[in-house]
Amino acid sequence: MSTPDLAGFLDRLAPRDEAAAWLARRLLESGWSVCELTGPVQMDVWQLLLERGKHRVRFGIERGRSDGVLVRDDAGAYRPILDAVSVNGEVPGSLAEDRTVVLRWLDEGSDGDDE
């Protein structure tokens, strides 16, 4: 198996989930780093983990479909990012509709400060 290519993964994700690919690119541009990139594995499975400070965001593809965007909570479990954002005050309708709300929430919460 060859080493996964970040640009290739994002190009593969874009037609399946344009908003998720957009968010991944914005996070990378704003200083988030790649923690892990795996794929492709059996059944077209891919995973990209981005991190900044103590925060981690997951982007994935399984069987050719996007898994959506997941964010790691304080217990280390991953849950849909829109659930996490809405628990913390703002309630976006969808990632595609409210990209800036999600991006702002991630940037504010990932400055490396644990408090």
pLDDT per residue rounded down to tens, the chain (115 residues)? 456 799 999 999 999 999 999 999 999 999 999 999 998 888 889 999 999 988 999 999 999 899 999 999 889 999 998 888 887 676 667 777 777 788 888 877 655 444 4
pLDDT value for 2: 52
Cα Rg of the chain (Å, integer): 14
Secondary structure of residue 14 in the 3-state scheme: coil
Residues 6+ apart with CB under 8 A from 113: 53
pLDDT value for 99: 76
pLDDT value for 112: 45
Q: Reduce the secondary structure of 39-67 to three states and give it as a string.
A: EEECCCEEEEEEEECCEEEEEEEECCEEE
User: HSE (CB half, 13 Å, CA atoms) of 83?
Assistant: 10
Distance of CA 16 to CAs 91, 97, 100, Å?
24, 16, 20
Where exactly are the structural domains of the chain?
A: 6-109
Closest-CA residue to 12 (of 65, 74, 55):
65
